[in-house]
Chain A
Amino acid sequence: MPEPRVPHSNLPPPTSTTGVVGWLRRSLFSSPLNAVLTLLAVYLLYVTLPPLLRWAFLDAAWSGEDREACRSGGACWVFIRVHLDQFLYGFYPDEQRWRVNAAVLLLILGAAPLFVRTVSSKFKVRLGLGLLIAYPLVAFVLLKGGMIGLPVVDTSQWGGLLLTLVIAGVGMTAALPLGVLLALGRRSRMPAIQTLCVTFIEFWRGVPLITVLFMSSVMLPLFLPAGMNFDKLLRALIGVTLFQGAYMAEVVRGGLQAIPKGQFEAAAALGLGYWKTMGLIVLPQALKLVIPGIVNTFIALFKDTSLVLIIGLFDLMNIVHNATTNPAWLGFSTEGYVFAATVYWLFCFSMSRYSQNLEKHLYTGHKR
């Protein structure tokens, strides 16, 4: 009697397709062209990476007080360390810098609950709105002074990262509402309002920010009655806000156009007026759709704050540049720019990552 046929147990996959070898074959050497490209890339990394690491870390000078400490041939991080306070606070008086720290700490403490998942969203909305209204006032009083016994620190003394954050923060909080209003105006059925909004948006989008800042510094004094003068910082803030508000308007308009007509009709059928339709039905959906665009505009705004150097404000970019031209520290511009670039990069990159998270978190199946 023949033995019952026992099938051979499954063979494991060939070793060349699994594990490290398989991965290498699949993703680095899948074809002759890919193999050549991989080798080229490895060579490129071999040529660039070790000298870069040696310059930035191994040979770098970390401690010391002056340029005598930087004779190793590597990066001179002493330059950054010595100037760090200046880079962060600008010309803000030494003994008053606790006020800047307090303002930052206050913002972090106040905004922290917004980033905790377990906090109820109703509380978040209230806290967010409260912060939006109260924080700028508190921060202004803290930074500028002149009240509750704090000595006045003029805005011309603000500088460094502080100034960058002030411009970016004010710009963002002002550009979004402005953009929403402009977008609503552009979608309005009233011809006069629509024309005004379209003209406004297209004008600001058509010119470079630098000419706007130029205009704010040379033409604004002509536009205002004699004797009336604007703070330089305020001028920059207005310029940046109007400029990015126009870009924001186009982003929001994209979201508004994506909302199906049925939503408007349903809201009208429920008897909602214009503002209730927009505020309760349309905008929440539209804004959610365009979160990536909004954050992109925020990132662009953050990077654009560096342009205020054109009108002579000492933001992070300008103050670093200024330090590199200091006769006592000539020749360390690379270190300065690398430091500034790292700071800008950290802010922009975390913003883009946060927006990706937010998108995932708010995802309710609206994408098909």
Chain B
Amino acid sequence: MAEHAPAPVKPPFWNDPWIRAILFQAIALVVTIAFGLYIFDNTQANLRRLGIASGFDFLSSPSGFDIIQSLIPYSATSSYGRVFWVALLNTLLVSALGIVLATLLGFVIGIARLSKNWLISRLALVYIETFRNIPLLLQIFFWYFAVLRAMPAPRQSLNLGDMVFLNIRGLYLPAPEFQTGFGWVLAAFGITVVLTVLLARWARRRQRATGRQFPIFSIALALLLGLPLLTFWLAGSPLVWQIPELQGFNFRGGWVIIPEMASLLLALTIYTATFIAEIVRAGIQAVSHGQTEASLSLGLTSSLTLRLIILPQALRVIIPPLTNQYLNLTKNSSLAAAIGYPDLVSAFAGTVLNQTGQAIECIAITMAVYLTISLLISLMMNWYNRRVALVER
């Protein structure tokens, strides 16, 4: 009789991977839910004990405090809901400006870092290594307390060409004032934009069909600048500059950038630019040198090589981490709370929370806003990534 292999021993049920997976997940879920319930329960009890009514009714009651910078009409009689919009717009303003400035500075520094010029690339390196290793909050404090708060009083303002004034109250800039007739200039600009788009399409089609190139860039530039300027002149220059003037103890007229905003913007730009510079450098270095050589051997000029060969490939590497930096900048703008720039955290999660005591609602709204911004930016990034991703055969 043939010998049987011993019958396989069935492993005990707790060693069955499938049962184990279910068990682990059940435990994780139960623990999470129990923890959530525990916190919910405690919060309910605490709120009852402290006599705080939860809910969002407080948003419609008047705030009773002033905000030093608001993009929409606001006064102390406005509601807490209005404070939210003012604060949100302030956050978005400083983030958007910061993103633009940091991108410009970052690209310049990143390209300087790759320069063949030894001195320039060393200077860029020193800049990067210095500013990215110093906490952002410290940089904000430095610009705010050591530089801008140390500016002279309005009467002794630093004067730049009788147009721009810098003092302890902020940076005063001339503001444009549009007269009647400026609408014509805007209309002319709109028409040229449409014209340029049509022209560019036609030029591309013609190049596809015949191979003949059209100097689209210079002609478009001439159109975009020329036509609006011509209309501006014909309409009788309907634009005057309102120059800030010293009246009594302060300046009137013009635009003012408050020191809180200026220091926040400076610090955010300088700090984030170091990271962007490194991203740009890495992105350009990631394009292999063979690409440049191949392009040159095809007869493309060096500027065309840069525009058509190197940049599109470098951007593919640059864009995802760059978006990450934009996200970081937006979140870092919340450090405004430390110097009193009225952003979302400072004005809403700070002042409103302290006045109303609605801690949970205020913090939840604030976090939800930041989460939404993060989500939107990462959705956009994913969309872009899919568009430029390598299509491999």
Q: Does A139 make an interface contact (CB < 8 A)?
A: no
Q: Does B135 make an interface contact (CB < 8 A)?
A: yes
Question: Cβ of A337 and Cβ of B331 under 8 Å apart?
Answer: no
Question: Cβ of A34 and Cβ of B117 under 8 Å apart?
Answer: yes
CA distance A207 to B368 in the complex (A): 8
Question: Cβ of B146 and Cβ of A334 under 8 Å apart?
Answer: yes
User: Could you say which residues of chain A place their CB within 8 Å of the CB of B72?
Assistant: none
Chain A, residues 320-337, CB within 8 Å of chain B (1/0): the string is 010010000001011001
Question: Cβ of B141 and Cβ of A206 under 8 Å apart?
Answer: no
User: Could you say which residues of chain B place their CB within 8 Å of the CB of A306?
Assistant: 135, 137-138
Closest B residue to A332 by beta carbon equals B146
Q: Check A207/B331 contact, CB under 8 A, given A41-B120, A192-B29.
A: yes
Q: Does B123 make an interface contact (CB < 8 A)?
A: yes
Closest A residue to B50 by beta carbon equals A222
User: Could you say which residues of chain A place their CB within 8 Å of the CB of B42?
Assistant: 222-225
Question: Cβ of B135 and Cβ of A208 under 8 Å apart?
Answer: no
Question: Cβ of B25 and Cβ of A207 under 8 Å apart?
Answer: no
CA distance A303 to B21 in the complex (A): 40
CA distance A299 to B278 in the complex (A): 16
CA distance A226 to B46 in the complex (A): 7
Q: How near does chain A come to B268, taking the closest CB pair, in angstroms?
A: 13
Contact of A337 among B142, B332, B353 (CB under 8 A): B142
Closest A residue to B118 by beta carbon equals A27
Q: Check A317/B138 contact, CB under 8 A, given A211-B345, A211-B363, A225-B42.
A: yes
Q: How near does chain A come to B134, taking the closest CB pair, in angstroms?
A: 5
Contact of A221 among B46, B367, B371 (CB under 8 A): B46
Contact of A219 among B117, B129, B360 (CB under 8 A): B360
CA distance A3 to B43 in the complex (A): 108
Closest A residue to B132 by beta carbon equals A348
Q: How near does chain A come to B88, taking the closest CB pair, in angstroms?
A: 14
Chain A, residues 56-71, CB within 8 Å of chain B (1/0): the string is 0000000000000000
Question: Cβ of B116 and Cβ of A206 under 8 Å apart?
Answer: no
Q: Which of B47, B139, B345 has the most CB of A within 10 A?
A: B345
Q: How near does chain B come to A330, taking the closest CB pair, in angstroms?
A: 10
Q: Which of A44, A196, A306, A349 has the most CB of B within 10 A?
A: A306
Q: How near does chain A come to B68, taking the closest CB pair, in angstroms?
A: 20
CA distance A203 to B367 in the complex (A): 9
User: Could you say which residues of chain A place their CB within 8 Å of the CB of B77?
Assistant: none
Q: How near does chain B come to A44, taking the closest CB pair, in angstroms?
A: 8
Question: Cβ of A225 and Cβ of B45 under 8 Å apart?
Answer: yes
Question: Cβ of B119 and Cβ of A206 under 8 Å apart?
Answer: no
User: Could you say which residues of chain B place their CB within 8 Å of the CB of A349?
Assistant: 129, 133
Q: How near does chain B come to A276, taking the closest CB pair, in angstroms?
A: 15
User: Could you say which residues of chain A place their CB within 8 Å of the CB of B150?
Assistant: 331, 333
Question: Cβ of A193 and Cβ of B135 under 8 Å apart?
Answer: no
CA distance A38 to B42 in the complex (A): 66
Size class of the B contact interface (CB-based, 8 Å): 35 or more
Question: Cβ of B146 and Cβ of A337 under 8 Å apart?
Answer: yes
CA distance A221 to B120 in the complex (A): 53
Question: Cβ of A303 and Cβ of B24 under 8 Å apart?
Answer: no
Q: Check A223/B32 contact, CB under 8 A, given A203-B371, A211-B363, A352-B133.
A: no
Q: Does B257 make an interface contact (CB < 8 A)?
A: no
Closest B residue to A39 by beta carbon equals B119
Chain B, residues 26-69, CB within 8 Å of chain A (1/0): the string is 10110010000001001101110100000000000000000000
Question: Cβ of B371 and Cβ of A307 under 8 Å apart?
Answer: no
User: Could you say which residues of chain A place their CB within 8 Å of the CB of B371?
Assistant: 203, 206-207
CA distance A223 to B115 in the complex (A): 55
Closest A residue to B143 by beta carbon equals A337
Q: Check A214/B24 contact, CB under 8 A, given A30-B116, A222-B360, A337-B138.
A: no
Q: Does B104 make an interface contact (CB < 8 A)?
A: no
CA distance A191 to B22 in the complex (A): 10
Interface locus among B163-171, B228-236, B334-342: B334-342
CA distance A340 to B145 in the complex (A): 14
CA distance A37 to B118 in the complex (A): 11
Question: Cβ of A193 and Cβ of B338 under 8 Å apart?
Answer: no
Closest B residue to A35 by beta carbon equals B117
Q: Check A219/B133 contact, CB under 8 A, given A41-B120, A193-B24, A225-B42.
A: no
Contact of B117 among A27, A193, A221, A299 (CB under 8 A): A27
Q: Does A178 make an interface contact (CB < 8 A)?
A: no
Q: Check A208/B141 contact, CB under 8 A, given A190-B21, A218-B353.
A: no
CA distance A209 to B150 in the complex (A): 29
CA distance A27 to B21 in the complex (A): 62
User: Could you say which residues of chain A place their CB within 8 Å of the CB of B43?
Assistant: 222-223
Question: Cβ of A344 and Cβ of B331 under 8 Å apart?
Answer: no
Q: 10 closest Cβ contacts across the A-B interface? A: A192-B25, A27-B118, A348-B133, A206-B374, A208-B331, A303-B135, A208-B334, A306-B135, A206-B371, A333-B146
Give A contacts to B, CB under 8 Å: 27-28, 30, 34, 37-38, 41-42, 44, 189-193, 196, 202-203, 205-211, 214-215, 218-219, 221-226, 299, 303-307, 309-310, 317, 321, 324, 331, 333-334, 337, 340-341, 344-345, 348-349, 352
Give B contacts to A, CB under 8 Å: 21, 24-26, 28-29, 32, 39, 42-43, 45-47, 49, 115-120, 123, 129-130, 133-139, 141-142, 145-146, 150, 331-332, 334-335, 337-338, 345, 349-350, 353, 359-360, 363, 366-367, 370-371, 374-375
Give 16 A-B contacts (CB < 8 Å), ordered by A residue.
A27-B116, A30-B117, A193-B28, A206-B370, A208-B345, A211-B345, A211-B367, A223-B42, A306-B138, A309-B338, A317-B135, A317-B138, A333-B142, A333-B146, A344-B135, A348-B133
